[in-house]
Structure 1
Amino acid sequence: MSNAQKFPFIKALNNAIQTGAEDRAQISGHSLPCHVVAVDGQIVTVQFDMLPDGVQYPQVTIPVATFPYVRPPIQVGDKGVTLAIEVSLRGVSGLGTGIADRAITMSMAPLFFTPISNVNWSKEDPNKIVLYGPDGAILKTEDAASSITVEPGKITESADAIYLNAKDIYLGGGTIHLNGPIVQDAAQMTSTTASFIGPMDVTNDVVAGGVSLIGHPHDVKNVQSGGSTVTSEAPTATE
């Protein structure tokens, strides 16, 4: 009896197709839970959180699902999942070169990392977006010409001009430091009257309308002898 008679051709073909499918499944990308073990910018190395079931799950270095405009401060220990597409991500992530094609791709090449939420996270206002990092946050333009940096106990704003527009602007709770010239833009003013409630200590001279508070002269008219009281004129500007 021939081998063909012992093992029918159709059954052999079916076995070959099944074996090929199983082999392809073994090398295809897997969507699995994992945690971060190393961070390099927005490229992470993850360890799969899977029980040992006869399959080897090596650590893998993969890109994060994000944009250049929003870069989450991913930390070692952060939990998430790997997601897989059908072709290699090496070219678009910079971890390799070339353009993807439909050739068979090894299981680690089409993976990327995405964080996943956890019930142990801090409770925040569900109607507000929450942005923070372990040491703060940075909001900036691409060229860094304007930026806001939030750090523990300090907020730094940097720009050519900072505008605060509101009906009332309150600065309170501490000492106000004004380390530069203070001007009023007449064209922008709806009212040029400023009111202060003292006490106020001024270390150096104050000049108002060309008149020095410290060194201004007074014209005196109708001088009389003896103990007479003479009222002087208003102070005049000094040259």
Structure 2
Amino acid sequence: MSDSQKFPFGKALSNTIQTQADDRAAISGRSLPCHVVAVSGQIVTVQFDMLPDGKQYPQITIPVATFEYLRYPIQKGDKGVTVAADVSLRGISGLGTGIASASFVASLTPLFFIPLSNAGWTAEDPNKIVLYGPDGAIIKTADGASTITVEPGKITEKADAIHMEAKDIYLKGIIHMNGPIVQDPGEMTSTTATFIGPMNVTDDVVAGGVSLIGHPHDVEGVEPGGATIPSKPPTPGVSEP
């Protein structure tokens, strides 16, 4: 009697289908907890955080789930999870070449990394978005012409023009002005500036063409002796000879 006669055909067919399904499941992508062990831009190498269970989980290099316009300051030790796509991501992530196909791929090939939150993180205002990196943060245009850089103890802004508009603008501290100061008449609702002294001016001040330090006064009706004679106001446009 042949083996085919000893083992029912229906059972054999069922076993074959089940074996193929098990083989497909064995090579499908794995969504597993992991931590970062190396960083290169927005490409990370991760180590799976899994107990030994008879399977070998090697370190793998995979892309991070993000846009080009948002770069995460991922550090070694950051924790997250791998997520599996249905096909290889190596071509689209730049870690390989070619166009993805529906052919079988190894279980660790179609993975990408997603960070996960942790209950031990510092508490922040839940109603505000919080952005920071280990050394600060950068907001910039694609060409880098305009940037805002936040560093420990310093904020740097760079642009062709920086506009601030508010009913009241408060500046507190030592104000360093290392360039010309101008008023734009077309933008002014009031051209009167009020200062409460004391104020020290090292160099000359010119108002209406009149030098504060070296302007002459016309004195009329001078009399000998100790009389005090009021002088006329400075003449606009007339400076020290």
Give the TM-score range, shorter chain.
Answer: over 0.9
2:28 pairs with 1:12: no
User: Match for residue 169 of structure 1?
Assistant: 169
Deviation at residue 154 of structure 1 after TM alignment: 0.4
| AA in 1 matched with 2:116 | I
User: Match for residue 146 of structure 1?
Assistant: 146
User: Match for residue 197 of structure 1?
Assistant: 196
Q: C-alpha separation between the residues in 1 aligned to 2:115 and 2:129?
A: 17
User: Match for residue 3 of structure 1?
Assistant: 3
Deviation at residue 88 of structure 1 after TM alignment: 0.5
User: Match for residue 156 of structure 1?
Assistant: 156
Q: C-alpha separation between the residues in 2 aligned to 1:118 and 1:157?
A: 33
Q: C-alpha separation between the residues in 2 aligned to 1:47 and 1:154?
A: 36
| AA in 1 matched with 2:198 | P
User: Match for residue 222 of structure 1?
Assistant: 221
Q: C-alpha separation between the residues in 2 aligned to 1:176 and 1:36?
A: 44
Q: Give TM-score, length-normalised by structure 2.
A: 0.95
5 Å-filtered alignment, 1:22-37, equals 22-37=22-37
SS at match of 2:11: helix
Deviation at residue 20 of structure 1 after TM alignment: 1.4
Residue identity over aligned pairs, in percent, reads 74
Q: C-alpha separation between the residues in 2 aligned to 1:113 and 1:225?
A: 95
5 Å-filtered alignment, 1:105-120, equals 105-120=105-120
Q: C-alpha separation between the residues in 2 aligned to 1:75 and 1:231?
A: 75
Deviation at residue 235 of structure 1 after TM alignment: 1.4
User: Match for residue 39 of structure 2?
Assistant: 39
Q: C-alpha separation between the residues in 2 aligned to 1:132 and 1:24?
A: 42
5+ long unaligned stretches in structure 1 = none
Q: C-alpha separation between the residues in 2 aligned to 1:62 and 1:217?
A: 78
Q: C-alpha separation between the residues in 2 aligned to 1:166 and 1:191?
A: 15
SS at match of 2:13: helix
Q: C-alpha separation between the residues in 1 aligned to 2:6 and 2:216?
A: 126
2:95 pairs with 1:95: yes
Greater Cα offset, 21-30 or 125-134: 21-30
| AA in 2 matched with 1:191 | S
Deviation at residue 105 of structure 1 after TM alignment: 1.0
User: Match for residue 124 of structure 1?
Assistant: 124
1:208-231 CA distance string (max 9 Å, x none):
110001110111222334444322
SS at match of 2:80: strand
Q: C-alpha separation between the residues in 1 aligned to 2:226 and 2:75?
A: 85
1:136-162 CA distance string (max 9 Å, x none):
000111111111000000000001111
5+ long unaligned stretches in structure 2 = none
Deviation at residue 134 of structure 1 after TM alignment: 0.4
5 Å-filtered alignment, 1:65-104, equals 65-104=65-104
Deviation at residue 10 of structure 1 after TM alignment: 2.2
Q: C-alpha separation between the residues in 1 aligned to 2:119 and 2:224?
A: 92
| AA in 2 matched with 1:48 | F
Supply the RMSD in Å over aligned alpha carbons.
1.2
Q: Give TM-score, length-normalised by structure 1.
A: 0.96
**Aligned residues, how many?**
238
Deviation at residue 46 of structure 1 after TM alignment: 0.4
SS at match of 1:65: coil
Q: C-alpha separation between the residues in 2 aligned to 1:38 and 1:228?
A: 88
